[in-house]
Amino acid sequence: MCRPSCTSATTAPSTSCARTSRSPRRLARIAWKLTIRNGSQVQRERHDDRDDASTALEAALRPLAASTQRDSEHFFWREIEPVQQVVARGGLAGPRGTRGGIDVRGDGSTEAWAGRSWRRELVAQEPGEDAFAALRRVLQSSR
């Protein structure tokens, strides 16, 4: 049923009143969104496949992690160590609310997380696994 504002006596119903956001075609098109935040720069990409998106995430963040070396910062009376500073963040948003990403810390280490911003949890790495592999593992299990 269209909203009253979508129709009038002289025109046909507007196509914008249909529930296109939940149509199967639209869900198939919206697959994985990748967002890379590095300082004030933000890059966004869309990928059809989870593997393509996680490969692009790794390709963007691994060079940043290798070249990052920050000093301690002083903020009022606190000293913030490099491992506490997030230099860059890459996030993946997938179908059905799947979320995850990687933080690059000031000392060059990486840390995987999963969930939305208010429910973000760190992903525990298994032996022999880096943060990128841990994120892939968690995103595969959330199908």
Rounded CA gap, 142 and 61, in Å? 23
How do residues 7-33 score in pLDDT, each as one tens digit? 555 555 555 555 545 555 555 556 899
Rounded CA gap, 12 and 74, in Å? 63
How do residues 80-132 score in pLDDT, each as one tens digit? 888 888 899 999 999 888 899 999 998 989 999 998 877 888 899 899 999 99
